[in-house]
Structures are given as C-alpha cells and as structure tokens.
Structure 1
Amino acid sequence: MQTVNREHENPAPEQRANLQVAAGHRRDARLTIRLLPCNICKLANELWEGWSLGERSDAEQLTAGTWAKRCYFAGRALMDATLRPYDLGSTQWYVLWHLTNFGPTVQRDLGRALSLERATLSGIVATLVRKGLLNQSSSGEDQRQRLLTLTTAGETLWLELPDLSFIHETAFGGIDEADLITTIRVLQSATERLQNLLRKE
C-alpha cells in the first residue's frame, strides 16, 4: 500500500499525549481543539498491516485499523483542501502552528515535537524557507543546530489562515462524550502496545 507524499508531507502528528492536535491559529498554546489523535496515521498503518482483512463491501467486515486509517485520511484530505488556496500543506501548517505558539525552536526539537523524521522535516523547512515564511539560523547554544523562527511574512500568513476547528466539529460533533472517551482510550492503548513491542525488537 502506497503512502501519499505531497511536498514531503508525511502525516503530521502533534505531540499531545497521543490524544490531541491543535486546531485554530491563536497564539495561546493552551487554546487548542482536538482534531484527530496525533499518532493515528502511524497507528492506522500498523493496525492495517497487522489486522486488516482487506477491503470488503460489507462495512461490518472492516477492522478498527481500517476505520482509523480512513478517518485520518478523510480529515487530512479536508485539511489539505482548505489550505490549498494558501499554497500550504498540512505538515507545513503544523510547523507554523508550533512556531506561532511556542516561538523560535531548534529544528531538532521541532522534529521530536511533531514526530517527524529528520529528512522529512528538512524538506518541509527548506520549502518554508524558500517561500519566505521561515528563517533558519545557527543556534546560539550549538552552532551545528538550526534555529527556526517565523518571518514577518510567515506571521502575516498565519493570521490569514482559516480556523481548522470545523474539521473536528464535523467529525466528532454530536457524538456521545462517553463514546469519544472510549475511542481515545482504545487508540491510546493500542498505540502504546505497538510502541512497546517496537522497543523490544
């Protein structure tokens, strides 16, 4: 199964205890709205490989991994479509979100915060620098590390971007809170089990 790659756009996971992804574009980092479980794409791929019985016309035959994957890609596609008029991809959006809310960040630390591999993040940063949205300079503490900051153009663009909270509301609005809590707990538990197994290998 192939993974779609747009401008180095790997699925964008925000480190929110595997439960939250920020939506909206306010500077206060505490004002976040759950969009999709942050590691859901990684989890869905792992579940898909391990549990999926293949595509069936009967919805009852689809596994938890299948629906997790479908939910992620549906939300991702809507996010990309919303950002397309601004010449911005979803992972680029996460980078801008992080720098807006947390300020200048060392590139290595940003990769850890967003769970992005070095090569993937390097490509995304290079694209944003080329667009004039980011500055990349040497960190004062370690000249080998690159410090990322938003440019004036980057700050201006961020203020023009639409609020993405409607994606979360569309997906989960009106669903019983108990069902959402159960879903989060199951996905979190499955993620932790897979990560623990990976560490043992």
Structure 2
Amino acid sequence: MSADVPPATTASRATDRPGDPSPFALGLLLRRAHWHAAAVMTEALRPLGIELRHFAVLIVLVNQGPTVQRDLAAATGSDKAGIMRVVDDLERKGLAVRKAVPGDRRARAVEITPQGLELFDAAHAAAESPAERLIAELGPGEPELLTDLLTRFTHPGGGEA
C-alpha cells in the first residue's frame, strides 16, 4: 500500500541556508534566529540566576499584573506542568508569589514581588550589551526595520500579543 505522495519535483529541499527558495525557508531561518538570540540572552540572564523561561513569566506578570497559572501557560507557550515548575522556581527565589483569587477557591494568581521587579530591571540592563552584539552585523536602520517586520509578522493586523 502506498501513500498519496505528490510527484517529485526539482525544487530544492528545505534547508536553513541563505537563499533557500523552499517554502520552509522562512520558518527555518526564524528558528535559527530564535536559537541564536535565546543563547545570547540565556548567557545575559545566567549571572542573575534565572533562565529565559523564568524571564518570560516575569514579562507577563509585569505586563498583565497578577495572572492565573493557566493564563501564564498560554501566554508563554508552556504546558501546565512546565508553568508550575517555573512558578515554583520564581517563588523559591522570592521573585513571585501565588495568591488566592477572590471567588475561586482553587485558582491562584501569580504576582511579581518587589525583588522580582528589581531583577526584571537588572535583566534589562544585563541584556543591553548582548542585544547590541546580536544586531552588530546589521546596517543603519536595519535593526528598526527587522523589529518592525517581525512585529508585523507576529502580530498581523497590528493586534496585541
């Protein structure tokens, strides 16, 4: 029994090399760009004792205020177990606390602490130099253009995250 496979074409196979014309090229390049940026930012956060997964939750807490774990998971692309581990870590470090949600005995909202806000600000300061290195190969105006393009790509129609 054979699967319905389209006939072979002479089109290039998907790669993440510059100039790849395949329909997968953009996604592969975005993945590689993410890996590169994540590695650089991970190193910037390491001296502060947190990882990108922790910082992602702190970003949500700063932007949205106290947030239930279910919504944190959705906002960070995590699963329930993963977000619980991250929040446990943040609580152990004194960067966030869980608080009861009025009207819902089972739900807990996660809230950033003053220490968490201090670390959030310190992380931004620590990331400045590595962020500059990330864009060092770009020409004048290109960092802003890249940011604009990625913003429009990830938020079609100008919608909020």
With normalisation by structure 1, the TM-score equals 0.55
Partner of 1:135 in structure 2?
97
Pick one of 18, 27, 34 that aligns with 1:59: 18
Of the three residues 48, 51, 61, the one matched with 1:86 is: 48
Paired position in structure 2 for 1:123 = 85
Instruction: Give the distance between the partners of 1:104 and 1:185, measured in 2 at CA.
Output: 28
Aligned to 2:106: 144
Greater strand fraction, Structure 1 or Structure 2? 2
Residue 61 (structure 2) pairs with residue 99 (structure 1): yes
Give the count of matched residue pairs: 137
Q: Distance in 2 between matches of 1:88 and 1:147?
A: 21
Uncovered stretches (5+) of structure 1, i.e. residues with no partner: 1-50, 190-201
Larger radius of gyration: 2
C-alpha distance in 1 between matches for 2:150 and 2:63: 28
Give the percent of matched residue pairs that are identical in Structure 1 and Structure 2.
Answer: 26
1:136–1:147 Cα contact (<8 Å) kept: yes
Matched with 1:158 is 120
Q: Which has the higher contact order (CA 8 A, sep 6+)?
A: 1
Counterpart for residue 39 of structure 1: none
1:108-144, Cα deviation, whole Å (9 max, x unpaired)? 2222222322122111111111112111122112111
Code of the residue aligned with 2:80 in structure 1: it is: R
Tell which deviates more after alignment, 111-120 or 172-181: 172-181
Distance across 2 between alignment mates of 1:118 and 1:95: 13
The DSSP-based 3-state class of the residue aligned with 2:104 is coil
CA deviation map 1:154-190 (0-9, x unaligned)? 233223223446638943663287776666656767x
The answer on whether the counterparts of 2:67 and 2:111 sit within 8 Å (CA) in structure 1 is yes
Aligned CA RMSD, in angstroms, stands at 3.2
Match of 1:21 in 2: none
- Check whether the contact 1:99–1:105 (CA below 8 A) recurs between aligned residues: yes
The CA deviation string for residues 75-102 of structure 1, in whole angstroms up to 9 with x for no partner, is: 1111111111001111211211221232
